[in-house]
Structure 1
Amino acid sequence: MIKTKRIQQIKEYVIQHQSVSLDDLVTTFGVSKNTIRRDVQKLVEEGHIQKVYGGVAANHARLESFHDRQTRNQLQKRWIAKDAARLVDDGDVIFIDSGTTTLEMIHFIKEKELTVVTNNLDFIVQALPYTQLQVISTGGQLERKTKSFSSITNTNDVLQYNFDKVFMASTGVSISNGVTNSSPVETSMKEMVVKKGREVILLVDHTKFNKYAMLTYCQLDEIDYLITDDSLDTSYTTFFKKNQIKWIVAPSQDESQQTLT
């Protein structure tokens, strides 16, 4: 069997069974354990599967509560948000996605004259004191676990807006599966927002790479900027250069000792 075809079949087999042992893969595909280990390693590096004790498992990111996500890597998220805010100009019409990293942008854009469309409940609440921010909610059903508004019936309302910049969050990012999300009811809105953004900026910390969730809302080559908190693997930098995507690693060296406000 051709190597690329075998690797694809291994991926499909693991996803179908959720978790399998290496011995099972050896038996099923009729190759040596060393060959299986090499094939598995390639799939792990591409973000399709993950190694677990005694074998491998499908690498589906789960939908965590907003609180659990907010308390993890909080300082890194604040740095990412600060660099994202530098891309915002007075007078912009922007979209702020639901997410713990995108929420942090409120600290750095609160003095700007902006129109902000958002499905992020906490952003709406925190923006209340800042009258120069014109905040428009997407409306719909409140998803308590993610503290965001979503609605399958109201997603077409987003199409009326022409966004200068959209700031997006993601549960997992990989070259093969693109930018992914765990919530089916949020995905349609995210897809439309990306299409309506003049510039698409993705905010993700280092824990999101080489992972994917249940649904892809855009391919990686549809974004214009990626802002993260750690250096990128060469597979990503090569991909970004090829597709003319800018990437920013926060914080820059000259800021790493500064205090965030």
Structure 2
Amino acid sequence: MIKDKRINKIEEYIKEHKSVSLDELMEVFKVSKNTIRRDVQELVERDEFKKVYGGVAVKDEDQTAKLEPFQDRQVRHQKEKKIIAKAAAQFINDGDIIFIDSGTTTIELIEYLKGKNVTVLTNNLDFILRALPFENLSVISTGGLLERKTNSFGSIKYIDFLNAYNIKKAFMASTGVSLTNGVTNASPLESELKTAVVNRSIESYLLIDHNKFDKYGLMTYCTLDNIDYLITDQMPSQTYKEYIEANDIKLVLAEDV
């Protein structure tokens, strides 16, 4: 295949898959790594693509995720959110001290905790309200300023609060995840809490559906390699799979549960 035609095909392939690894491109187009690197560099210089860990991705400013009201987000991808929460719940055992983040996926965990005896720290107002009938759930609120768009509490005094508790497992939400921007959030009020929770917890679980990949919010609250378990509903691209494997992140596909 002549060079110009090959580069055009590579361009189409990247646009279709959003992000791909160099190894995947080598396999698909049957060329050497040096050739792929030169072709990718040429595409990057056109300013439509960007280099990411082990590969290349579409450079798209529209991938920025905005802060949307909780009710608007809750009605989207409901099936995916439920099966992701179900997959995450299998890691929660009686006696655990856990953190449940604000979010329209993490709120679904309540359905799978009704029969478990756990202590839950949370800034998730909806979780607190829905947990009221279940005496087996000991719920501790982070408190702070109510962020109405996310139905969650925000504050600048999280560090001292969290240091009082030995959080075993944190179940985190995200506006979007990318290899360049990490695990992100659209609400500045929540980002400090999220960072502190990930740093404080023994294990961190990130619950995201496939639509969150290659998107990013206003603030990064941790890098992807800070996450111990990534729970999603579809297999991510080869670029993400290679990153996940290289950083010893455990990938859990909800569809397999």
What interval of TM-score do these two structures reach, taking the shorter chain for normalisation? 0.7 to 0.9
Counterpart-to-counterpart distance in 1, 2:195 and 2:158: 13
1:23-102 matches, cutoff 5 A:
35=43, 39-42=47-50, 49-50=59-60, 57=61, 59-102=63-106
1:167 corresponds, among 164, 167, 171, to: 171
Aligned to 1:141: 145
Counterpart-to-counterpart distance in 2, 1:218 and 1:46: 22
- Note the alpha carbon deviations across 1:19-38, whole angstroms, 9 max, x for none: xxxxxxxxxxxxxxx85685
Aligned to 1:250: 254
- Note the alpha carbon deviations across 1:64-117, whole angstroms, 9 max, x for none: 110111000001100000000000011000000000000000000111010000
Counterpart-to-counterpart distance in 2, 1:147 and 1:129: 19
Contact 2:50 2:59 in 1 (8 A): no
Counterpart-to-counterpart distance in 1, 2:87 and 2:44: 42
User: How far is 1:60 from its partner?
Assistant: 1.9
Contact 1:46 1:210 in 2 (8 A): no
Counterpart-to-counterpart distance in 2, 1:172 and 1:179: 6
How many pairs align?
214
SS in 2 for 1:139: coil
User: How far is 1:58 from its partner?
Assistant: 5.5
TM-score by length of 2: 0.79
Contact 2:176 2:183 in 1 (8 A): yes
Counterpart-to-counterpart distance in 2, 1:65 and 1:49: 26
Give 2:87's aligned amino acid. D
Give 2:210's aligned amino acid. H
Aligned to 1:207: 211
Structure 1 regions of 5+ residues with no counterpart?
1-33, 51-56, 256-261
1:192 corresponds, among 196, 199, 217, to: 196
User: How far is 1:251 from its partner?
Assistant: 1.8
How has the CA–CA distance of structure 1 residues 158 and 48 changed in structure 2, closer, same or farther, with 3 Å as cutoff? farther
Counterpart-to-counterpart distance in 2, 1:95 and 1:122: 14
Give 2:181's aligned amino acid. N
Name the % identity.
52
Give 2:147's aligned amino acid. E
Alpha carbon RMSD of aligned pairs, Å? Answer: 1.9
- Note the alpha carbon deviations across 1:47-69, whole angstroms, 9 max, x for none: 6742xxxxxx3632100110111
TM-score by length of 1: 0.77
Counterpart-to-counterpart distance in 1, 2:57 and 2:151: 27
